[in-house]
Amino acid sequence: MEFIDEELLQYSEDHTSPESDLLHRINRETHLNVMKPRMLSGHLQGRLLSLYAKMIQPKQILEIGTYTGYSALCMAEGLQPDGMLHTVDKNEELEDRVRGYFDASGYGSQIKLYIGNALDIVPTIDAAFDLVFIDADKINYSRYYDMVIDKVRPGGYIIADNVLWSGKVLEKYRRKLDEDTKAVMDFNLYVHQDERVENILMPVRDGLMIARKK
């Protein structure tokens, strides 16, 4: 489901700072060579993630769901000089491609890629995170949130992607309430009712839940 007229979306992108040559390459090669390219954050959302990272100026970033590395590189633009971005993905088939993109960027030494189950890996990372980006399997969104909330410093942010789930959070846009849709709806309500954070659900692309830890 598109939440904004296609021409308005194009107008928005035309009046948004351009993506770097490397990000443009990742965008293009992902659409040409990788399954489910819609999973890529893309130009508009990528610039939003970059701006948030530059405002927060994080020393430690955690990303759950690397895909082809586009969103990681966007957030890395805001890292402190001695900062580190930890990104976790279970798809080992994309590992060489992603590492190549990271090495081609100016942030390769500040990005650590983990291949495996985030539920097993994240608890072993010894860091207090300033920014967490969740963009992985929707069934485990609430579990990921619970897993990271105590590892986020006060004033830190958790951002979750796809929280409007192509509009299926509304009954009129779905045929049935499947497990993924229910998981997203449960997650949205859980974060909204969590007194440890203040939150806003932004209808950008497929929806971003942004929560600031009090």
Q: Is the pLDDT of residue 168 over 90?
A: yes
User: Which residues have a Cβ under 8 Å from the Cβ of 210 and sit 6 or more positions away?
Assistant: 52, 157, 158, 159, 199, 200, 201, 202
Nearest to 199 by CA among 213, 187, 185: 213
pTM of this structure = 0.95
- β partners of residue 113: 87
Could you give all domains of the chain from N- to C-terminal order, each with its CATH number?
6-213 (3.40.50.150)
pLDDT digits (tens, 9 = 90+) for 3-48: 778 899 899 999 999 999 999 999 999 999 998 888 899 999 999 9
Structure-block tokens of residue 9? 């979306």
Q: How far is CA 48 from the centre of its chain?
A: 11
> What confidence category does residue 1 fall into, taking pLDDT thresholds of 50, 70 and 90?
low
